C-alpha cells in the first residue's frame, strides 16, 4: 500500500492478484472495500493486523551481495 491521505481511495492487490479499492480511514487504520474488512498497520508499514485476526508481516529484503574486486 502506498502512503495515502486519509479518505483518499487507492487500489490494493491481494496475494492472488485481485484488485480492490481501499483507503486510510485515519492514520494507522485502513479499509479494504472488496473484503469488507478493516485493519490497523504499524507505523513502519511492515505489519498489518486485520479485524478478523489475520496478521501480515513483510519480510525485510536481503541486502545485495558484496561487490567482488578483481585482484591485479
Can you spell out the DSSP letters for 3-49?
A: ---BT--EEEE-TTS-EEEEEEEETTEEEETTTTEEEEE-TTSSEEE
Alpha carbon 65 to its chain's center? 26
pLDDT under 70: residue ranges of the chain: 1-7, 72
pLDDT tens-place string over residues 20-36: 999 999 899 999 998 89
Q: What is the CA radius of gyration of the chain?
A: 17
The pLDDT assigned to 61 comes to: 83
Can you name the residues that pair with 41 across neighbouring β-strands? 48
Q: Which residues contact 16 (CB under 8 A, 6 or more apart)?
A: none
Record the pTM. 0.66
Amino acid at each position: 500500500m502506498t502512503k495515502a491521505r486519509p479518505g483518499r481511495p487507492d487500489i490494493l492487490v491481494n496475494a492472488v492478484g485481485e484488485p480492490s479499492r481501499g483507503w486510510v480511514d485515519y492514520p494507522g487504520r485502513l479499509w479494504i472495500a472488496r473484503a469488507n474488512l478493516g485493519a490497523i498497520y504499524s507505523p513502519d508499514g511492515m505489519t498489518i493486523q486485520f479485524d478478523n485476526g489475520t496478521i501480515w508481516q513483510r519480510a525485510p529484503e536481503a541486502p545485495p551481495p558484496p561487490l567482488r574486486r578483481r585482484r591485479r
